[in-house]
Structure formats: structure tokens, C-alpha cells
Amino acid sequence: MELLNLIFRLGVLFAIYGFLWLFIEMAFSFLRAGRPKTIIETYIIKSVKYLFLVNVTFLFCLDLNKNDVSIYNLMPSAIILLTYFIGKLQQKQHQLQMLGPLNATIGKDDFNLKSEIILITVSIALFIGFLFFPQYSNNAVANWFKSSIIDIETTVIIGFVFKIIGFFFLVSMIFKMLNAINYILSGKPIVDVRTSFQSKKKDDDQFDDFEEIKEE
């Protein structure tokens, strides 16, 4: 039950943090005056986003564990955070698979797998580092995010909306855990979105070949 409560609280945290970060990205866009982001700028901004998310998550976990800095108390949070980052990476890969030709047409190239893996690794390493040096997690920016998230969460209507998002995050995390367990036991996930997409694409290609034969 404590694990479910932790997943739910972190789901609310991630959702509200993403909401706040949306305004920060809008400010960055305003400063660029409409100029498209380079891939370097994209990963600099994403690095700041991920590292402060790790920082804020650690502060929230301290509150939940009554400031008990223990690897046994905080490691489940690190695993959930890692699962969240990997989920974001997989979601981006699926988007590129479906919109690959469109991205090539408009010249949009804002994804680098190696950079994503390095960023996720550094983010989790930072979380583990806070376990040994928790004093560095207490800084003005992280505390501002934390207080802002708490204020939004305690707001009646908006807070309720984010709690609904937290519930769906809980369901999603449970499904991912079951998917991982099934993969370990049987060698394949319960649902593989990429395989389904590739199968659909293959079926479409076969239909196109049939149309060509018919036209001849």
C-alpha cells in the first residue's frame, strides 16, 4: 500500500512539474523570438528539466519518509523515476517511428538516442548522489518548485485534476511493472506497441502490393 501511495504521489508531482515547466519553455521560446531550437539547445533545456525534477523528487521523498535518508526508503523512488524517464524515451521513439517521414520533410531533428541515455544515467546518478550528500538537494530553485507544486496540489479544482492524472500514472506504472515481470518470465512483454505498429505497417505494404498487381 505504501508503494502504491508513493507511485500516486510521484505521478501528481511529475504532472504538476511538467505543467510548470511548460511555462518555462514558453519563456525560452519567447526569448528565441521564434527561432527553432538547435539539438544542443534542446538537450541543454532537457538536462536542466530532468536534473531539477530529480532534485524536487528527492525533496518530496524526504518529506514522505520524514527526512529519513535511507537507500531502502528512497530506492523505490529512484526505480520509479528511472521507469518514468525510460517511458519518456520509448514514447519519443514511437513518435519518431510513426512520424519519421514527416520529421524528415520539415527538417525537425531533436532526438539523439545516445544523448538521451547519457541524460537518464546522469539523472539517476544525481538522485543516488543525493542519498550520500542530501544537503546539496536543498537549494532555492528546487524549493521553489516544491512549494509551487504543493500550492497547486492543494488547490481544490486544479489539484483534483492533477490527482486524476496521478491515478492514471499509478495504473500505467502498475501495467509497466507487470509488463516487465512478464518479459522476465516469458521473454516478451504483454503488449509491444512497436511490434503492433510494425505489423500494421507490414499489412499496409502487402495491401499496396496487391493493389499494384490488380492495376497491372
pLDDT tens-digit readout, 138-197: 999 999 999 999 999 999 899 999 999 999 998 888 887 777 676 667 656 555 544 444
In the numeric block, which cell numbers belong to residue 70?
Answer: 535511507
Statement: residue 3 has pLDDT above 80: yes
Q: Which helix (H) or strand (E) holds 124?
A: helix 113-132
C-alpha dihedral sign at 196, 201, 202, 208: positive
The model's pTM? 0.81
Q: What is the pLDDT of residue 151?
A: 96
From the list 128, 48, 34, the residue with the least C-alpha distance to 81 is: 128
**How many structural domains does the chain have?**
1
3-class SS of residue 11: helix
Q: What are the pLDDT digits (tens) for 22-40?
A: 999 999 888 888 788 888 9
Q: What are the pLDDT digits (tens) for 56-101?
A: 999 999 998 888 888 888 999 999 999 999 888 888 888 888 876 6
In the numeric block, which cell numbers belong to residue 216?
Answer: 497491372
CB 28 within 8 A of CB 45: yes
User: What is the rounded CA–CA span in Å between residue 120 and residue 212?
Assistant: 46
Q: What are the pLDDT digits (tens) for 117-139?
A: 999 999 999 999 999 999 999 99
User: What is the rounded CA–CA span in Å between residue 55 and residue 194?
Assistant: 32
Domain containing 194 equals 2-215
Compute the CA torsion angle 171, 177, 183, 188 (nearest 10 deg): 20
* DSSP symbol at 112: -
CB 97 within 8 A of CB 194: yes
